[in-house]
Amino acid sequence: MSAFPKDFLWGGAVAAHQFEGGWSADGKGISIADVMTAGDNQTKRRITDGVQPGENYPNHDAIDFYHRYKDDVELFSELGLKCFRTSIAWSRIFPKGDEEQPNEKGLQFYDDLFDDLLAHHIEPVITLSHFEMPYHLVQAYGGWRNRKLIGFFVKFAKVVFDRYKDKVKYWMTFNEINNQVGMLNEWSLFTNSGLIIHPGENKEQAMFQAAHYEAVASALAVQIGHTINSDFKIGCMVAMGPVYPATPNPNDVFKAERMMQTNYYLADVQVKGHYPAFLEHYFARRQFNLDITLEDRDVLLAGKVDYIGFSYYASHVIKAADEEPTDFITLGSNQEIKNTTLHRSDWGWEIDPVGLRYALNWFSDRYDVPLFIVENGLGAFDKVEENGSIHDDYRIDYLRQHIEQMKLAVEVDGVKLMGYTPWGIIDLVSAGTGQMEKRYGVIYVDKDDQGKGTLARSKKDSFDWFHKVIQSNGEDLT
């Protein structure tokens, strides 16, 4: 008998801006992903002032799913996916973000895609905002530092909830909404909230204000969605990377715990409907004077999510500073150290399967809602053999070890788990580096970091292995 229920959602995950391409097709507007250049392990992606001639923007064409989705859905069906997580590109529906009427051609694309998925018995799992808000909202309103964006997002959510109310059951509001908290850097502030920090501006204050408006927008969307279809399951989505103390020193232990509290406060807000006490005190001590109204607080309480969706790739080890502040909060300048007990990926990410079980237990203990692992995977270099085969045993090993820990969390620990959608089920553009050669998929796409290739799809060894896992409902991991 399987540890997982019969309706367990085995799937794969992507994001519109990382695989659709068609960046200006059929009335789509410029998104924030469309102004991010290519990078690599040593070179950071740059954010340009609009789309500039001569720059390399890998998200513009990506893997051209926009024009190839029927063939790709056939592959997903052959793989045996029960669900497919993607996002609706906001700027396909509202090209600038502040229009009165949506773009019908954009809406029709997702109608056609969802119809095709459902015809293949694949449930769409849809994120509303996945690092791809309309760039015009940055230029004209300053991104999520502006309360007006709540209204724009809620209109977008209502339009797509209404349009797809009979086609999509599973939704999430903001992808990895907490990235900006843990990173507090140019990339995360821009991709999460469309924030470009002005000279002299307090970036912590700007981030917390933007995140608050996003949390309010999420809560309003949840309420509207449940009104449109009471069967909707609407979740939040957070990036989970457990934080371990470097030593048994109580300061290290407390530092690790405070980082967990801070990194996941937005789960508190979206699941429990209110801010944690320590953070309210932090805001007051720092004199942030955030725009958090009594009405906002009522909205947060009334718009709690149905489940927690989360990404899991790596864990972290933290050491308290010699002069650690009394609140143990040092956003953007925490002393992370290498975990010498773990191996690392080609991109330096620590591989910690047990950390996934830890994460599931941490969430389960803290929140009484179902959990959904909506991203997990290994970014690696893949070699295509002369006969076209791709032997990615390293990816199979990675997924196997994480599924084993996932099973223990369900079977031994009693965690309520809805599903598992490994990230980048088909090769796509990396969000962090803009690379194609940082590959996650079980389906290979012939395209390199210079944008060269045929875009032909082919199966890696991991394709057949994951098919077997799904067919056995997680029992056959050999």
Residues involved in catalysis: 375
Q: Give the C-alpha separation, 134 to 30, whole Å.
A: 6
Phi, psi of 377 (to 5 degrees): 175, 175
Distance, CA of 449 to chain centre: 22
Q: What is the DSSP letter of 29?
A: P
For residues 123 and 119, give the distance between their C-alpha atoms in angstroms, rounded to a whole number. Answer: 10
How many CB atoms within 10 Å of residue 284?
11
* Start-end of H helices in 50-127: 65-79, 90-93, 104-119
Q: Give which of 128, 151, 97, 163 is closest to 234, Cα–Cα.
A: 128
Write out the two tokens for 457: 């799809």
- Residue closest to 238 by CA, chosen among 157, 181, 160: 181
Which residues have C-beta within 8 Å of that of residue 217, sequence separation ≥ 6? Answer: 149, 150, 153, 154, 157, 173
In the numeric block, the tokens 């929140």 are attached to 367
Closest to 126 measured CA to CA, from 94, 96, 83: 83
The tokens for 223 are 């309420």
Neighbours of 242 (CB within 10 A): 22
Give φ, ψ of 337 to 5 degrees. Answer: -125, 165
CB atoms inside a 10 Å sphere around CB 261: 17
